[in-house]
Amino acid sequence: MSLNLVSLVGRVGGDPDVRYFESGSVVCNLTLAVDRRTRNSDQPDWFSLELWGKTAEIAANYVRKGSQIGVTGTLKFDHWQDRGTGIDRSKPVIRVDRLDLLGSKRDPESTSSSYEEEF
């Protein structure tokens, strides 16, 4: 048995980066800061998020820098070769299947909404 499931709640680090393709597909990339408690201070861990389809469109329309969101998805690794050095590189990315809009810093009493990608 194997399991690849990631659930995170945090604040968005910047406005969504949305791209539309000729095929009709849409992708949205975000960064998410999740606080990690330490003895001396709160240190955020930063995660790269990738959203597709309807979930990406919802994020593009409703998520902004500072928004608090919850996500559920799977961990994957993007691989590429550095153009300058030729070194193989990789970075972990969370492929989001479910997006929960939890509010923004400006609107602490906002209601939460959930969106799940349909396959």
pLDDT tens column, 59-109 = 999 999 999 999 999 999 999 999 999 999 999 999 999 999 997 666 555
Q: Which one-letter amino acid corresponds to residue 116?
A: E
Per-residue pLDDT band at 4 (split at 50, 70, 90) = very high
| Contact (CB, 8 A) for 84 and 46 | no
Binned at pLDDT 50, 70 and 90, residue 1 comes out as confident
| Letter string b/e over residues 70-100, b meaning 16 or more CB atoms within 10 A of that residue's CB | bbbbeeeeeeeeeeeeeeeeeeebbbbbebb
pLDDT attached to residue 119: 44
Q: Which residues contact 5 (CB under 8 A, 6 or more apart)?
A: 72, 73, 74
17-20 and 26-37 beta bridge pairing: antiparallel
Residue 116: the pLDDT is 63
Q: Which CATH superfamily is domain 6-116 in?
A: Nucleic acid-binding proteins (2.40.50.140)
The mean of the pLDDT values for the chain is 88
5-14, 42-51, 81-90, 97-106: least confidently modelled range: 97-106
Stretch 1-25: mean pLDDT, rounded? 95
